[in-house]
Structure 1
């Protein structure tokens, strides 16, 4: 009898302890979850009397969406004509016309965000206030743009607009594969070509640029690519970055007038130790040794070419490997600093021959460069490091069909 009472007592004590532990953990979890999900702030919000366009500021104002009427959105700033709000990290603007402002407490979501994905709209896309097709519509995304997302949840992609979470039905959009980045080196008329190594014919290059123009592609700068990779820029679906490595004079002779005709810009990665091999204006010799841009060229071609880094004196190989592998981080930094002296607006680097290691990456960061391009083929997207940006090498060996497949985001690598 005593034994039975003793055992029942132990069971009762154990049950009480278990209840206390569960309650403590639950209240702790509940409190932590509440803190993560909801932060109470007092903010200024706009409410629109009618649906209004939302813009992003580039060279001009570009319409990137429409905000629905009678929906509150937190503002982050204003000027005389526009309220400023945030679409993720993107700064967006809506006209002050037909808008009222009030300050109120707001439960903002402090959800864990991701910064390595975007969606692409093939048509105008609806953004809902909840993960429910029957919930209120809060805005619309424009057709033909790439938008950064903050989360993914079952059948929904989630954006953040004016401190609110917005839900985009996955079947209405497609996941953004990333931006096409083209890299060229040498250009010659087909009749003068003696090799296809790192060379494309003038005829093939002209056909490719005509295709981009006919399909209304927009070219980006290195700064714009960086903002896209950081989730700070909404870019059109038809967007491409055109790059040239080495600063060869043939690109001035043949690529420059074609790019200028179409209103395109391109990046030229300059090897600064080679710009002093000639001075002033050069007569181009298609059949002679390779010729490089001079300082005069760098000053005169800025309407089309944006000049970026390609090292000062590290563009050489030793037994098949870039000589930067033989240099210390400090030596690479000094070389890059000397390179940047000639291209002072540079924010990007093209690794010589695509060869790099951790020391090279660290040196690029410490030299103040924000992006580095490899020769690995692929798209430039938010999944990879900004110092391992993929490109697509274009030479005479690549067919026009391969070019268009890549440009249109349909290239698949095994």
Structure 2
């Protein structure tokens, strides 16, 4: 009996070890089952560098200047991917964001992390918005989103949207935000003083254009580049709710004469889609003639106006219609379209977008655009640019004198109900 009692501590220790091992295996199996149930959307992973703050700190994105787009709460660990002398770098969705150093500790740690994700959509923060640890309003808050920005989400589950921050899943209650309809992309062609207008087709008066640009400036809109639009569509960029992309098609000299000074006055930029075979119809500086044939930018104009216009593709010599009213490109093979686009891009080498002539395109046109290295294809279908459609079928709102000022405001403010 004494031997049995003497062995009791050993037996108890063995039982404790067995129980702990069983609980650990159970926990691991639960994590595996959880991951399998979520299609491995969320798994537990070990990260070499995990930042935990001692106090709440702003999160910034970098552009021309630092912009605060949220706040990370204290005691909420996030994986970091880099650092410099001043900032830690981490990911929000697929974009880099930054936190000032000096307010936390960095260590190796295991976190619940978001696995493979694809772009899904974006939400609009209409007020400061909490991002929770779990799909539960009683759970801890990871971060706060700033009011007035669009944030990419990677999944929705029931009453919740899921955002990826520092590799972790963060949960946003649907009732606290709005779904982002997409970015307004405006397309202009001809801008003329009203007394020089002979048609309203593809033309807007100088007076209307001035009023529209003044509205954008007064309501603090920012104009975007083609690259920013692409990054937004790919879920790699947080954008202001007051963002708009202005585009011009054809490279008409009237946009130099009348639109360029107004855009420059307000500090706005715009895309100008160039038909490169038409830029050789004249050389050097031209005098604008509203009563003569249409005039197009020359190579000199393209160089001179690059502080406002970003020059993009609109084909070299495919901007015409056949006898049935269809774009001639639709009769071309993919190889023929590609050859034309390569000639076009030779004149606008920084181009990453294409405006399809007359909005006409097909699968061969898209394949040729991809092979030419273009990332965006603009159509003439009216609607917002968002992640629901292909990057090669991006919608725009056509602006002509036929459109009312109220319609313009509805387009840029994201409310086209009843328009």
> Do they fold alike, i.e. is TM over 0.5?
yes
Kindly indicate whether the alpha-carbon contact (under 8 Å) linking 2:47 and 2:79 is maintained by their aligned counterparts in 1.
no
1:259 is aligned to 263
**Stretches of structure 1 lacking an aligned partner (at least 5 in a row):** 1-25
* Structure 1 residue 134 displacement after superposition: 1.3
1:296 is aligned to 300
Q: How does 1:7-406 map to 2 (within 5 A)?
A: 32-33=36-37, 36=40, 37-110=42-115, 113-319=117-323, 320-406=325-411
Q: 1:167 to 1:276 in 2, by over 3 A?
A: same
CA RMSD of aligned residues (A): 1.8
Report SS of the residue matched to 1:113.
coil
* Structure 1 residue 170 displacement after superposition: 1.1
How far apart in 2 are the matches of 1:380 and 1:34?
30
Kindly indicate whether the alpha-carbon contact (under 8 Å) linking 1:145 and 1:234 is maintained by their aligned counterparts in 2.
yes
Kindly indicate whether the alpha-carbon contact (under 8 Å) linking 1:114 and 1:149 is maintained by their aligned counterparts in 2.
no
Report SS of the residue matched to 1:311.
coil
* Structure 1 residue 153 displacement after superposition: 1.4
How far apart in 1 are the matches of 2:385 and 2:318?
25
Instruction: Indicate the larger mover: 167-176 or 98-107.
Output: 98-107
* Structure 1 residue 114 displacement after superposition: 4.1
1:5 is aligned to none
Give the TM-score of the pair, scaled to structure 1.
0.91
* Structure 1 residue 33 displacement after superposition: 3.7
**CA offsets per residue over residues 5-63 of structure 1, 9 Å max, x none?**
xxxxxxxxxxxxxxxxxxxxx9x977844882424323311111111000111122111
The answer to whether structure 1 residue 407 and structure 2 residue 401 are counterparts is no
* Structure 1 residue 80 displacement after superposition: 1.2
Kindly indicate whether the alpha-carbon contact (under 8 Å) linking 1:181 and 1:243 is maintained by their aligned counterparts in 2.
yes
Runs of 4+ in structure 1 off by over 3 angstroms are 28-35
Kindly indicate whether the alpha-carbon contact (under 8 Å) linking 2:355 and 2:378 is maintained by their aligned counterparts in 1.
yes
Kindly indicate whether the alpha-carbon contact (under 8 Å) linking 2:119 and 2:234 is maintained by their aligned counterparts in 1.
yes
Give the TM-score of the pair, scaled to structure 2.
0.90
Kindly indicate whether the alpha-carbon contact (under 8 Å) linking 2:190 and 2:203 is maintained by their aligned counterparts in 1.
yes
Kindly indicate whether the alpha-carbon contact (under 8 Å) linking 2:277 and 2:317 is maintained by their aligned counterparts in 1.
yes
Kindly indicate whether the alpha-carbon contact (under 8 Å) linking 1:181 and 1:390 is maintained by their aligned counterparts in 2.
yes
**Stretches of structure 2 lacking an aligned partner (at least 5 in a row):** 1-29
2:4 is aligned to none
**CA offsets per residue over residues 74-123 of structure 1, 9 Å max, x none?**
1111111111111110111101121211112334243x634130000111
1:4 is aligned to none
How far apart in 2 are the matches of 1:92 and 1:369?
27
Kindly indicate whether the alpha-carbon contact (under 8 Å) linking 1:43 and 1:106 is maintained by their aligned counterparts in 2.
no
Kindly indicate whether the alpha-carbon contact (under 8 Å) linking 2:221 and 2:243 is maintained by their aligned counterparts in 1.
yes
Instruction: Indicate the larger mover: 341-350 or 403-412.
Output: 403-412
Kindly indicate whether the alpha-carbon contact (under 8 Å) linking 1:378 and 1:413 is maintained by their aligned counterparts in 2.
no
How far apart in 2 are the matches of 1:224 and 1:125?
24
Kindly indicate whether the alpha-carbon contact (under 8 Å) linking 1:185 and 1:246 is maintained by their aligned counterparts in 2.
yes
How far apart in 2 are the matches of 1:412 and 1:390?
17
How far apart in 2 are the matches of 1:34 and 1:179?
31
How far apart in 2 are the matches of 1:31 and 1:148?
22
Kindly indicate whether the alpha-carbon contact (under 8 Å) linking 1:273 and 1:312 is maintained by their aligned counterparts in 2.
yes
